[in-house]
Amino acid sequence: MNQAAVFINDTFVPAGEAALLVTDLATQRGYGIFDFFKTINNIPVFLDDHLARFYNSAAQMRLPLQQSPEQLKAIIHELIQRNQIPDAGIRISCTGGYPQDGYSITTPNLVITQQPLTPLAADAFEKGLRLVSYNHQRQLPEIKTIDYLMAIWLQPFVKEQQADDLLYYRHGLITECPRANIFMVTADDTVVTPSRNILKGITRMHTLKVARELYKVEERDVTLEEFRAAKEAFISSTTKYILPVLQLDGKPVGNGQPRVVTARLNGVLREYVGKHIG
């Protein structure tokens, strides 16, 4: 395959030539935002939703984007056309620019990249996830920033605990995983997910939409102890759809096997996505 194109600020360049200066505020101070979505057969999934969140993140972070949503959408479609990577992940990043003082927000830099998306393993749902809880609250949790410091720093800890990922909690309330939203199912098949101090994921939003057609749904505080006693639990994310959580801190969630509600929602969500791009 020819070298993929990357969009930087106002032009397309080969990926090998794509670069920002080391004075960028993202490099100097870790200041920036991003959004990430996938394409299926060259069709972007939930693009309008991701762009709405991206522009909201930019506004909250005081990053004055130079492109309108319609202009950005046209750029994304051109990138897809140029690269011809049917099943891909597209990342839109916006940084704080090149400040003279190394500290102030200036004209942002916009970078859009596209890479092939590795499909989920065939047994991913059956295997499920093992989570380990950790007392941490992300800064500005409602904004999709480039700050993954704690999640990356804790990777050795996750491996030591023989887990797959983290589940953050604060003051006894669970919030989210570093790259996914968290749900639980109660004894009466009510689907519950935390409502605050989280990034409200796009897949989370659509999972709630399809779940409301089938079950009672609650968005509210969830204690760590309540989660431990859940009948079922699962995560939602752009790349994983829905995956069951089978263990927390080395102990089974429910009976430690994928369960009916989680499996049903995963199937319905996949059908829903298929109709969205059909």
pLDDT value of position 56: 98
- Enumerate the β-bridge partners of residue 241: 237
The DSSP string of 28-75 is: HH--EEEEEEEEETTEETTHHHHHHHHHHHHHHTT---SS-HHHHHHH
Q: What is the pLDDT of residues 119-173, one digit of tens each?
A: 999 999 999 999 999 999 999 999 999 999 999 999 999 999 999 999 999 999 9
pLDDT value of position 3: 85
Q: By percentage, how much of the chain surpasses pLDDT 90?
A: 96
User: What are the angstrom distances between the C-alpha of 32 and each of 85, 110, 114, 142?
Assistant: 26, 10, 18, 14
User: What are the angstrom distances between the C-alpha of 265 and each of 84, 129, 130, 268?
Assistant: 31, 16, 20, 5
pLDDT value of position 258: 67
Which CATH code is given to the segment(s) 124-277?
A: 3.20.10.10
Mean pLDDT to the nearest integer, 254-271: 91
- Enumerate the β-bridge partners of residue 39: 44, 88
**Phi, psi at 265, each rounded to 5°:** -65, -35
Question: Domain limits of the chain?
Answer: 5-116, 124-277
Strand boundaries in 117-190, DSSP class E: 129-135, 165-170, 173-174, 181-185
Q: What is the pLDDT of residues 13-37, one digit of tens each?
A: 999 999 999 999 999 999 999 999 9
Q: What is the pLDDT of residues 82-94, one digit of tens each?
A: 999 999 999 999 9
Token representation of residue 158 = 């996750």
Domain 5-116 has CATH 1.10.1330.10: no
Which of 98-102, 114-118, 141-145, 251-255 has the weakest average pLDDT? 251-255
